[in-house]
Amino acid sequence: MPVIAVVDYEMGNLHSVCKGLEKAGATPNITYSPKELEQADAVILPGVGSFDPAVKHLRGRGLEQPIKDAIASGKPFLGICLGLQILFESSSEGTQPGLGIVKGKVRRFLPEPDIAIPHMGWNQLQVTQPKSILWEHLPSDPWVYFVHSYYVDPIDPQIRAATVTHGTQTVTAAIARENLMAVQFHPEKSSNIGLQILSNFVAQVREKIAA
């Protein structure tokens, strides 16, 4: 089974992600070892919490460059929730620079009458990259589970793999570019749809190994 490194920087919902990966037929390895990230067949960067502590913990554990190296190597990479946001250059949630792997900023939802912030619960994706492996074997515009007050705003609109609408605001819900994928929602909390997304990621890892 493919070995997938799940990055441990004290900010992730690690065990739920690992259970999903096991169901999808992979062997998860919770780690903060740069060497183990390099040796793994793929990398997942989960995340729950705030932007500044997340990037501080990553840098404090010496993980910034290993993550960049893993993505640059062509290894399949999946960011989840905060693990999507910290790939960007900066966030209005804090003052720390992000990893800058994706050009753009993380912004807060604007307040509107009758909508809640954080955006929490089930919502429907509008898929903008229908050929992305993320969405294989899924119904069109599937429902997934969100918990967030901030959203990513990439400079290059072509990187958007899906959007979501909360109130009158339509924002990026997922990105995909070659081996780099990341989602704002929680696949590990999104029932069968989320399990299929993790299975799709594992399938891509298997294809990469076989190539």
**Catalytic hit among 57, 148, 166, 188:** 188
Residue-averaged pLDDT of the chain:
96
Q: Is the per-residue pLDDT at 13 higher than 90?
A: no
Q: Give the per-residue pLDDT at 96.
A: 97
Q: Give the per-residue pLDDT at 211.
A: 82
Q: Is the per-residue pLDDT at 49 higher than 80?
A: yes
In angstroms, rounded to a whole number, what is the distance separating the alpha carbons of residues 79 and 180?
8
Q: Coil, strand, or helix at residue 132?
A: coil
Chain CA centroid to CA 122, Å: 17
Residue 188: active-site member = yes
Question: How much is the average pLDDT of 19-33?
Answer: 95
Q: Give the type of residue at 61.
A: R
Residue 81: active-site member = yes
List C-alpha distances in Å: 207 to 76, 118, 210. 10, 37, 5
**Catalytic hit among 57, 81, 119, 166:** 81
List C-alpha distances in Å: 97 to 33, 182, 192. 22, 19, 35
Q: C-alpha angle 103/207/81, rounded to 5°?
A: 35
Q: Is the per-residue pLDDT at 117 higher than 90?
A: yes
User: What is the value of pTM for the model shown?
Assistant: 0.97
| pLDDT band per the 50, 70, 90 thresholds, residue 130 | very high
**Catalytic hit among 57, 148, 166, 186:** 186
Q: Is the per-residue pLDDT at 5 higher than 90?
A: yes
Q: Is the per-residue pLDDT at 12 higher than 80?
A: no
Residue 18: active-site member = no
Give all domains of the chain, ordered by start, each with its CATH number. Answer: 3-210 (3.40.50.880)
| Tens-place pLDDT, residues 55-92 | 999 999 999 999 999 999 999 999 999 999 999 999 99
Percent of the chain with pLDDT over 90: 92
In angstroms, rounded to a whole number, what is the distance separating the alpha carbons of residues 17 and 201?
12
Question: How much is the average pLDDT of 26-31?
Answer: 96
